Structure 1
Amino acid sequence: MSVSQPARALAPAPATSAGPRRRPSRLMVGAVFAALLAVGPYLLPPFYVSLLDYIGIASLVALGLTLLTGTAGMTSFGQAAFVGLGAYTTGVLSSGALGADTLGWLQGSPWLGLAAGLLVTFVAALAIGSLTLRLSGHYLPLGTIAWGISLYYLFGSSTLLGGQSGLGNIPAIALFGLDLDSPARMYWLIWAFVLAGAVTSQNLLDSREGRAIRALKGGVTMAEAMGVNSSRARMVVFILAALQASAAGWLYAHLQRFINPSPFGLHYGIDYLFMSVVGGASSVWGALLGAGVITVLKQWLQDLLPALLGRSGNFEVIVFGVLMIVILQSSSAGLWSLVARLLPVAARAPRIDRASRLSRRALPERGSVVLEARKVTRRFGGLVANNEMDLQLRAGEILGLIGPNGAGKSTMFNQLSGVDTPTSGQVLLCGADMRGKGSRAFASRGLSRTFQHVRLLPQMSVLENVAIGAHLRGHAGVLPAAWRLDRKDEGALLAEAARQLERVGLGDCMHLPAGSLALGQQRILEIARALAADPCVLLLDEPAAGLRLQEKQALGDLLRKLRAEGLAVLLVEHDMDFVMGLVDRLVVMEFGTRIAAGLPEEVQNDPAVLEAYLGGV
């Protein structure tokens, strides 16, 4: 019995003789949605066509928040300010507010206004993100409120931008000789932008760069250990969300032909965040649904409640707030999750090109020292967690690091993997001093690891979770991913992930959500993810925890195979029966120091070890 046998129990049941109910594909659903959009202007009254224009503009902003908040886990209340940047940039340039002598060649064209707006927003987002994204926890959304308010007051205080009176004389967009000077004509351009934004966002999420962004939700420690530059990933998604908001501002300015600061205030930023969350913050198409529901609901409440309750109070705001609470309580995953349950769409399994191969790392010579700790000491104030620890790990061996609870094993593990920096001493990886360089640098030099508490992305498939481990072996960037120009690179990464899953016995469930696996299988999945990085050093933190006897036997067989291939494995484990029959050497810790080292049979009879574990013979 192998590790893969429990996984087979999780696989979908075979179809009956009557055949399964055929589900529509994602492409089919998208085609139906596009067809409905196409006939909308011919079937709906002008008011609702205009309302669809505003839904489309809001959808663009909500799409950016889906990437920023739903996918990367960064809450922003300031996206309306980026809408304002796009709107005011094109408004100033296309209306000639600067005067004929200032940047005359750039004025008058809305399309140049779009390019200028995106450029201004890019620079602003880069500057704001450099400051704001250093914050974490509740400080990050507070930071977005701060710069959102600042830009709002900048719009209202500048005479160049028209102050609170606003900026007029904004021309209509001309496309192929046709002036888009009405809501019905702007409709097609707005929704072309929305569909392009939705498709490119979905493409990005289904790529190497998208997995790096999604990995942020699994924690920075996990992402960096897999080689993801978390600071870059956060900045990338922050800028992308800002650029989508800026494009929405450009469309808004040329639809209205007049702008003032009011639509770019904090309350609109809150509305955009509501749209993303209510629709389904982790779903691209949920952003469109949320924008539609919120926009239509607010319009209906503004029309209906004053007629029923009078115009003396803002009853629509009160009712709207109550409805938002009810919606969020009834469906915390967003309305799109309800739609997905009612109208299930067939999941599109990624194409795996078995012929694609990634380049492999040349393993160090067997017996050579690949990971070494020299006099490693780690202090936390007056507590000494590790005290002058020495350790050597050689290529082609399994080294066990054991000790009673509180011995300092986890702290030592963090020093050896770059998660933490020793107070003093050295950590050498393949001969290079890595002290203070961070876990991403360790990953790039061939060290990969698992975690004591499983760190996976439960909503992502098993295959995609493993592909995160191969992040450093891919090269396609954001723009190729958004326009699906990365298929060769992506195919090789997915093929490598599939091979590693089959290697550890989880090939039967690669397309299942990772969260549906049992705990033991999730630990095996973490090993597959670590192996996808093509490491020369593998650090395993309690990999046998939660595994049944036969699964432990399969895990032991896998680790012996890796050792035979020349991989160096460091194992932290509490299961002594599992450790003693597997490792080549043992290092024993107590109170942060090494008390014994050697062969398993020597260590288990060492008086100091017996004293540490049993209180004496």
Structure 2
Amino acid sequence: MKRFVMHNRFFWLFLVVMFALPVLPHPVHVPEYWITLLNYIGLYSIVAIGLVLLTGIGGMTSFGQAAFVGLGAYATAYLTTQYGVSPWLALIVGVVITGLVALVLGLVTMRLSGHFLPLGTIAWGLALFFLFGNLDMLGKYDGINGIPVLNVLGIDLESGRHIYYLIWVVVLLSVLSVQNLLNSRMGRAIRALRGGGMMAEAMGVNTGWMRVVIFVYAAVLAAVSGFLYAHLQRAVNPTPFGLNHGIEYLFMAVVGGVAHVWGAVLGAAILTVLQDWLQTLLPKLLGENGNFEIIVFGILMVLLLQYARRGVWPFVARFFPRGPQAHVPEHAEALPQRSKPATGEMLLTVNKARKQFGGLVAVNDVSFEVKAGQIIGLIGPNGAGKSTTFNLVTGVLQPTSGEITFRGQRIDRLTSREIVARGIGRTFQHVKLLPTMTVLENVAIGAHLRGHAGVLRSVAKLNAAEEGRLMSEAAKQIRRVGLEQHMYDEAGSLALGQQRILEIARALCCDPTLLLLDEPAAGLRYQEKQQLAALLRKLREEGMSVLLVEHDMDFVMNLTDRLVVMEFGTRIAEGLPEEVQKDPAVLEAYLGGVE
């Protein structure tokens, strides 16, 4: 709590300084030139904040944000000068147009990956830039002049000093909106996009749509910046909306700290002031001929990124200590739970499941069943096809032939998020956590489908009641698996055994009927395996059904109710653990045969 109060003090100090600057009396009166520079820092910050969300957190590089700034600027310029529309109505129209254009572009572009994604953003960024410069209605490359003055509460914002407050109010609202979004159910899903797409899908997140959502949100922020730019300049032309400026916006986010919201503001300030300083100083030192500032600027940026690869904000953030954002409320209404099946009820039926990759048969007509209240072990040597079978059940892969049913309904053609919605939770062979998020937040991702608040409710902080219920449920599952002392620790700081148990807590947060564990004992020490086995027995006593994929026969022998043994994609044995242990085919697979 003390750290949280300390952070708030720095935040309020920042507000006081920024909003006092234009009205400081002599002799510390701030010149008009510096107010103009601060205005541009604010405008650039709004765009860079969107890029933090899109690139730093969502993992999608975009070089085309300047074109969205242009859409916002040209929308208000055209409507106010040609039709006399109120600038505020023009803002709404500009945001809607930008949102629709971003939606169409996002549905296409966000499906790309690797180097194709940034190349795609360059393509449509250039297309919009040349569109601005070639349309007669937009004045071609001469642009549009005579944009009216903004009026707020009867006050005309005629000068940079007057519009300064509006710009920085929008900057702060942008920061708060993105922070509110990231500290929500939707925000946790967004943070899982970068490197955790498969995990997010398994928890019920529609990752493809989530990418489009944050792409549109970043575009809308850019359009708002363009609206303010147009009324600050009172004129627009295509020059500020080209690829060069798109690269600069991305640079600002990276230099400040591409994964930090406040880093966008810091990055915008650093680059704007540095460029201005170089343009003033270098001609005096090196002469007017030559564009030396670009060369020096490039060298300084390379050095900066070499020694501060995560940006500058992590160094500054040391002076802004803060506690964890997510916390467990004292009182919260419990989330609804699905009805539990009766002991012995048939849950999962795998009937002659087959998976071929070209000519390779990875799973060869495998069949087995899982009933309610059982722990079933699917075991075999490395390369036996266990994980492939597991992925068929969880929707990561679809079978070439055969059927998989869960509680009487076929699931073999469903996606991972559709399967988890039916009550199957899972963990992963290789731990998939978000290491910089707390244990509490990681587990809460598992409850994604049990909440309903969308982006707008999250941004406006209208999701507090639901967030309380989700956090309370996450804390309940953390206590259930015995990790309560690590609730606010970063997940990446836990030992491997604790991380695997954390994954089980996250899967339990999905409110599953059947829990699928993919080699949960891999890499664990003997004592950690014993603790894991004790946890699984406890879950079985509470009515949980478990399908356990494992290659460690010692681990599963005294834990499971039945064992299914695979080798080279084929089921070679099934039965009680003591029966399977004596099966000649199993001994052959594990030990190479016995005398």
How far the C-alpha of 1:342 sits from its partner, in A, is 4.5
Aligned partner (choices 24, 33, 37) of residue 14 of structure 2: 33
Equivalent residue, structure 1, for 2:453:
476
User: In 2, distance between residues paired with 1:435 and 1:574?
Assistant: 24
Which residue of 27, 34, 38 corresponds with 1:48? 34
Q: Distance in 1 between matches of 2:2 and 2:96?
A: 49
Cα deviations by residue, 1:76-125 (Å, 9 ceiling, x for unpaired): 111001000000011100111xxxxxxx4xx3311111001001001100
Q: What is the match of residue 267 of structure 1?
A: 244
* Paired residue secondary structure (2:236): coil
Does the aligned pair in 2 maintain the 1:353–1:492 contact within 8 Å?
A: no
Structure 2 matches for 1:536-615, cutoff 5 A? 536-615=513-592
SS in 2 for 1:426: strand
The answer for unaligned runs of 5 or more in structure 2 is 24-28
Change (3 A) 1:349 1:226: closer
Deviation at 1:520, TM superposition (A): 1.3
Determine whether 1:93 maps to 2:93.
no
Question: 1:345 Cα deviation (Å)?
Answer: 3.6
In the alignment, is residue 415 of structure 1 matched against residue 392 of structure 2?
yes
Cα distance in structure 2, aligned partners of 1:169 and 1:458: 52
Q: CA separation in 2, counterparts of 1:94 and 1:183?
A: 20
Deviation at 1:25, TM superposition (A): 3.0
Whether contact under 8 Å (1:520, 1:545) holds in the other structure is no
TM-score, normalising length: structure 1: 0.93
1:87 maps to amino acid: A
Who is 1:66 aligned against? 52
1:213 alignment partner, SS class: helix
How far apart are residue 218 of structure 1 and its match? Answer: 3.5
Q: Can you list the C-alpha shifts for 1:527-565, whole angstroms capped at 9, x where unaligned? A: 111011110011101112233333222221211121122
Q: Deviations over 1:445-470 (max 9, x none)?
A: 00110011111111111100000001
Amino acid at match of 1:243: V
Could you say which residue in structure 1 is the equivalent of 2:70? 84
CA distance in 1, matches of 2:194, 2:3: 33
Identity %: 58
Distance 1:108 1:523, change over 3 A: same
Bigger shift: residues 571-580 or 139-148: 571-580
Are residues 1:448 and 2:420 paired?
no
| Equivalent AA in structure 2 for residue 41 of structure 1 | P
Q: Is the 8 A contact 1:64 1:245 kept in 2?
A: yes
Does residue 182 (structure 1) correspond to residue 159 (structure 2)? The answer is yes
Kindly provide the amino acid, as one letter, of the partner of residue 127 in structure 1: V
What is the aligned partner in structure 1 of residue 265 from structure 2? 288
Q: How far apart, CA to CA, are the structure 1 residues paired with 2:555 and 2:415?
A: 31
**Structure 1 residues 484-563: aligned runs within 5 Å:** 484-563=461-540
Whether 2:123 is the aligned partner of 1:146: answer: yes
SS at match of 2:45: helix
Question: Which amino acid in 2 is paired with 1:208?
Answer: R
Choose from 302, 306, 313 the match for 1:325.
Answer: 302
* 1:51-76: CA deviation from partner (whole Å, max 9, x where unpaired): 00000000000010011011111111
Give 1:371 shift.
1.4
State the Cα deviation string for residues 319-362 of structure 1 (Å, max 9, x = none). Answer: 11111111111111111100123443444552423443111111
Distance between the aligned counterparts of 2:348 and 2:134, measured in 1?
60
8 Å CA contact retained: 1:351, 1:491 = yes
Is 2:322 the partner of 1:341?
no
Note the alpha carbon deviations across 1:496-539, whole angstroms, 9 max, x for none.
Answer: 11111111111011111111111111111111110111100111
Q: Please state whether the residue corresponding to 2:354 is helix, strand or coil.
A: strand
d(CA) in 2 for partners of 1:81 and 1:527? 45
1:6 aligned residue: none
Distance (whole Å) between structure 2 residues aligned to residue 355 and residue 171 of structure 1:
51
The answer as to whether partners of 1:429 and 1:442 remain within 8 angstroms in 2 is: no
Structure 2: distance between partners of 1:23 and 1:572: 43
Deviation of 1:22 (Å): 6.3
Aligned counterpart in structure 2 of residue 173 of structure 1, from 150, 158, 176: 150
For the residues of structure 2 that align with 1:168 and 1:604, how far apart are their CA atoms? 85
Residue 24 (structure 1) shift: 5.0
SS in structure 2 at match of 1:218: coil
Contact 2:192 2:434 in 1 (8 A): yes
Alignment partners' CA distance in 2, 1:421 and 1:255: 56
Contact 1:538 1:567 in 2 (8 A): yes
TM-score, structure 2 length as denominator?
A: 0.97
Distance between the aligned counterparts of 1:418 and 1:250, measured in 2?
45
What corresponds to 1:12 in structure 2? Answer: none
Q: Secondary structure at the match of 2:161?
A: helix
- Equivalent-residue separation in structure 2 for 1:85 and 1:349 (angstroms): 36
1:94-173 correspondence runs (5 A): 94-96=80-82, 104=83, 107-173=84-150
CA, structure 1 residues 493+346, in 2 after alignment: closer, same or farther (shift >3 Å)?
closer
Q: 2:289 aligns with which of 307, 312, 316?
A: 312
Aligned to 1:13: none
Distance 1:420 1:385 in 2: 12
- Secondary structure at the aligned position of 2:364 is classed as strand
1:298-320 CA-to-partner distances (Å, cap 9, x unmatched) read 11111111221122221111111
Which letter maps to 1:302? Q
Aligned to 1:50, the other structure's residue is in SS state helix
SS of 2:405's equivalent in the other structure is strand
1:475-494 CA-to-partner distances (Å, cap 9, x unmatched) read: 11111111111001000100
Contact 1:86–1:246 (8 Å) recurs in 2 = yes
Partner of 1:382: 359
Shift of 1:392: 0.8
Question: Is residue 465–residue 529 contact of structure 1 (8 Å, CA) maintained in 2?
Answer: yes
Q: Distance in 1 between matches of 2:107 and 2:209?
A: 10
Distance in 2 between residues matched to 1:610 and 1:24, nearest whole Å: 63
1:353-410 CA distances to partner (integer Å, 9 max, x unpaired)? 3443111111112111211111111111110101111121111000001111111111
- The one-letter code of the counterpart of 1:144 is T
Instruction: Give matches, 1:184-263, under 5 Å.
Output: 184-263=161-240
Write the letter of the residue equivalent to 2:143: G
Hey, what does 2:26 align to over in structure 1?
none
Deviation at 1:28, TM superposition (A): 2.0
Contact 2:353/2:404, CA 8 A, preserved across alignment: yes
Alpha-carbon distance in 2 for matches of 1:523, 1:149: 47
Matches of 2:272 and 2:566, distance apart in 1: 62
Q: What letter matches 1:421 in structure 2?
A: Q
Question: What is the RMSD of the two structures over their aligned residues, measured on CA atoms?
Answer: 1.4
Higher mean C-alpha deviation, range 296-305 or range 337-346 = 337-346
